[in-house]
């Protein structure tokens, strides 16, 4: 609804690596050309688990934004900002907390999982329980339609949908809703009003989903209709009250096919990464010393690519011809492992060189990133303020 906005956030965990690039960032870069996109640093989310050592958060945040831009996220297309610079997220989080049943939060699968996994810290805190609700506020405050995230975050977006529905149900009803909706339909003009009424009938009476979509699209185009009326009509279309908050959909990000240097998932905590700003000598050394199929003790021992982490890198960086070369050469001991690794070294160097170069510009002049984020925050703040005005109004907090 409205313009279909895309929103996603990342916790500032330090230098990003190739796993982030091939998983998340390439997806963000693709989307920025298709939709208005908002990408933000979830620094408050980082504090829910790292509240005892908050010192690194800021540095990590700047480094992360530099990595985004270095990788190709374009501040001229996407809005880049920092969560804690938009205090409206906290206000919405607080207001939503009033109507959020505790049981809903306790049932979010990541809650118990993470508590059991991160045993080195006490996560029986108010903030950690509220993690998914803070995420809901992040999404709902921009009325985002699409949220690109990985599998692990799907329950949080589902949760957000339920919160939006509950909010709209509780506060979207108003006295005289039906009459106000009918008056709003008239404002569409005779022809569109007739079409809208007809489509609504088809949806409500026959469950015609296409009619619903067409009616929603018709409303999307009515930029001149006052917002309150649009909310009413989106709601009236489905027979309920006003739709103040928009239910978001997941855009599932495929897990990165790129494994870590040891064959496990690439992750900083496993020490098996190549950072986006890794120095060329280090890239070369890391790849050349990667473990290979343990069966290839001597150069003359044949191997099995499926048992070798280098093979997984060829899946990402090599075409069919080169994969054939690897398969043939490995299984017959026709090539050595260093020979097999060389094209990977070259491909990674080619991929990272422009990123390193772009990052350097921002490292040399930190005000550039500061300004990009300041601009992004201004834009984000304007959008957040719009939603908050409607939310406060729905809750009777305007004090006009």
User: Which parts of this chain interact with ligand SF4 (CB under 6 A)?
Assistant: 292-293, 296, 303, 305, 308, 310-311, 326, 330, 335, 337, 340-341
DSSP 52-73: T-GGGHHHHHHHHHHHHHHHT-
Stretch near ligand TRP under the rule CB under 6 A, chosen from 4-12, 61-69, 113-121, 306-314: 4-12
Q: Which among 1-9, 93-101, 171-179, 205-213 is the span making contact with ligand TRP, rule CB under 6 A?
A: 1-9
Q: Binds 384, which of ligand SF4, ligand TRP, none (CB < 5 to 8 A, cut-off by type)?
A: none
- Minimum distance between the CB of residue 262 and ligand TRP, rounded to whole angstroms? 23
Q: Would you count residue 149 as binding ligand TRP (CB under 6 A)?
A: yes
Among 17, 7, 39, 66, CA closest to 376: 39
Using CB under 6 A, count the residues that bind ligand TRP: 13
Min. distance of Cβ 396 from ligand TRP in angstroms? 28
Interface residues for ligand TRP in 9-28 (CB under 6 A)? 9-11
Q: Which residue pairs from 285-290 have beta carbons closer than 8 angstroms and sit at least 24 positions apart in sequence? A: 286/261, 287/261, 287/313, 287/341, 287/344, 287/345, 287/348, 288/338, 288/341, 288/345, 290/261, 290/262, 290/341
For residue 8, state whether it binds ligand TRP (rule: CB under 6 A).
yes
User: Of the candidates 48, 79, 153, 259, which one interacts with ligand TRP according to CB under 6 A?
Assistant: 153
Q: Which residues pair with 41 in a beta bridge?
A: 10, 82
Residue 373 binding result from ligand TRP, ligand SF4, none, given CB thresholds of 5 to 8 Å by partner type = none
Burial 81-111 (b: 16+ CB within 10 A, else e): bbbbbbebbebbbebbeeebeeeebeebebb
Tokens at residue 124, please?
A: 């029986």
Looking at residue 335, what DSSP letter applies? S
Binding partner of 135, given ligand TRP, ligand SF4, none, CB within 5-8 angstroms per partner class: ligand TRP
**Max Cα-Cα span within the chain:** 84
Binding site for ligand TRP (CB under 6 A): 7-11, 42, 45, 135, 138-139, 147, 149, 153
């Amino acid at each position: 609804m409205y313009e279909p906005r895309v929103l996603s956030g990342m916790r500032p965990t330090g230098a990003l690596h190739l796993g982030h690039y091939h998983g998340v960032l390439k997806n963000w870069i693709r989307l920025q050309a298709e939709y208005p996109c908002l990408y933000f640093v979830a620094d408050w989310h980082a504090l829910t688990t790292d509240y005892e050592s908050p010192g690194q958060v800021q540095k990590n945040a700047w480094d992360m934004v530099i990595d985004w831009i270095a990788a190709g996220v374009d501040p001229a297309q996407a809005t880049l900002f920092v969560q804690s610079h938009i205090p409206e997220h906290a206000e919405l989080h607080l207001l939503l907390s009033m109507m959020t049943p505790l049981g809903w939060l306790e049932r979010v699968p990541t809650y118990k999982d993470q508590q059991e996994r991160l045993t080195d810290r006490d996560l029986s805190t108010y903030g950690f329980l509220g993690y998914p609700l803070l995420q809901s506020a992040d999404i709902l405050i921009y009325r985002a339609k699409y949220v690109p995230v990985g599998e692990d975050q799907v329950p949080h977006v589902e949760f957000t949908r339920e919160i939006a529905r509950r909010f709209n149900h509780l506060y979207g009803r108003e006295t005289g809703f039906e009459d106000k909706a009918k008056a709003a339909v008239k404002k569409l003009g005779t022809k569109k009003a007739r079409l809208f009424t007809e489509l609504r009938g088809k949806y409500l009476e026959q469950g015609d989903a296409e009619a619903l979509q067409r009616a929603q699209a018709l409303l999307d185009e009515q930029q001149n209709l006052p917002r309150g009326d649009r909310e009413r009509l989106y709601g009236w279309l489905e027979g309920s009250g006003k739709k103040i908050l928009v239910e978001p959909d997941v855009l599932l990000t495929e897990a990165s096919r790129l494994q870590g240097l040891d064959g496990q998932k690439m992750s900083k905590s496993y020490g098996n990464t190549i950072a986006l700003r890794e120095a060329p000598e280090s890239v070369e050394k890391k790849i050349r010393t990667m473990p290979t199929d343990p069966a290839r003790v001597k150069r003359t021992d044949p191997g099995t690519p499926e048992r070798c982490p280098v093979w997984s890198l060829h899946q990402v960086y090599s075409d069919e011809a080169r994969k054939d070369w690897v398969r043939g050469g490995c299984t017959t001991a026709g090539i050595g492992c260093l020979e097999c690794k060389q094209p990977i070294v070259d491909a990674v160097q080619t991929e990272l060189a422009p990123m390193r170069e772009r990052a350097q510009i921002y490292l040399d002049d930190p005000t550039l990133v500061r300004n990009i984020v300041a601009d992004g925050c201004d834009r984000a703040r304007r959008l957040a303020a719009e939603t908050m005005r409607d939310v406060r109004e729905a809750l009777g907090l305007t004090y006009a």
